[in-house]
Amino acid sequence: MIRGVHTMFYSSEPEAFRAFLRDKLGFPYTDVGGGWLIFDLPEADMGCHPADEAEGKRSGTHDISFYCDDIERTVADLAARGVEFTGPVVDQGYGLVTHFRVPGGFAVQLYQPRYTRGSSRGPEEPRITPMEMQE
């Protein structure tokens, strides 16, 4: 059974990016050796959006965003840690959105969603544990 999502960023400055995630964003991590840090993220959700070539969103591409409960407070906290934002917080309809720069020369979205996680669930199917599958 799937129990999580592993996400990856590719950066031209991976060591600096790892230090940014550890020191600026404060994510706990596991050091798996050789300079590799695997970060333990607090929670995740996943959306499935339509491709839109005009906006550079080709089919088969991915996007990683961070979200928070209070974007103004989160922006202030991160800015105090030296995180550089690319612009002000704007209302995009689905949430309040801004972007911040990361090592490697690109920006990542931070947003405060308007939806409530888990507020509309599909039909529940009985869960079968691995032990039950062996019986």
* Residue-wise pLDDT tens digits, 10-32: 999 999 999 999 999 999 999 99
Question: What's the maximum distance between 2 C-alpha atoms anywhere in the chain?
Answer: 57
Average pLDDT, the chain: 86
- Where do the DSSP E strands lie in 7-94? 29-33, 36-39, 65-67, 90-91
According to DSSP, the residues that pair with 30 across neighbouring strands are 38
* Beta carbons of 109 and 101 less than 8 angstroms apart: no
H/E stretch holding 72 reads: helix 71-80
The predicted model scores a pTM of 0.78
**By three-state DSSP, how is residue 106 classified?**
strand
Summarize pLDDT for 55-91 with one digit per residue, the tens: 888 888 888 899 999 999 999 999 999 999 999 999 9
